[in-house]
Amino acid sequence: MKRLLLLFIAAGAALGLVSCGGFEDPVLDNSFVYIADADSEVYNDKETTTTLYVTLSTPKTGFDATVEVYYELIPGNGLREGVDFRIKQGSESPLKFTTGNFVVPMKIEWLRNPAFDSTKDNTLKIKLTGSNLAYLQMGNSKLNYKSTFVFTKKATKN
């Protein structure tokens, strides 16, 4: 009889947890943006354009207004905007997610630099810094989704 009572209590507790959302994944209940992985190496001997995809993940099906996501560029001491790279038109900060749009491309044009110095820090870090929505998180560490991405410019492909 005691066993039956304990089994009844355990079953009731499990049912209570399921019905009140005790097994829901809280990671997916939050809205966040992240930068999808891409090829992180670029080469000075070849002019090219790379595309990063910034993705908005939300439990909502859409927004009533445009969501703006701000980012900053942090070049190492070997790179200069306009000399080694430039942000393509339409990819400037803030990136704009219009209603129903959950992925925004960010395009970077890589330029040949005759004075390229491979001994310097030739990284370009792109960091998501904020949004016009206070509750929107930058990245999601529990899912290993990043709010930063780092390119490394090399002299030539080995």
- Residue scoring higher pLDDT (119 or 2): 119
Whether the per-residue pLDDT at 121 is higher than 80: the answer is: yes
> Hey, what are 155's tokens?
């002299």
138 lies in a domain?
A: yes
77 lies in a domain?
A: yes
19 lies in a domain?
A: no
Which structural domain range is residue 89 located in? 25-154
Give the number of other Cβ atoms within 10 Å of residue 70's Cβ. 14
Domain count across the chain: 1
Q: Which residues contact 98 (CB under 8 A, 6 or more apart)?
A: 66
Q: pTM higher than 0.85, yes or no?
A: no
**Residues 117-144, buried b or exposed e (16+ Cβ, 10 A)?**
eeeeebbbebbbebbebeebbbbbeeee
Domain containing residue 74: CATH number: 2.60.40.2030
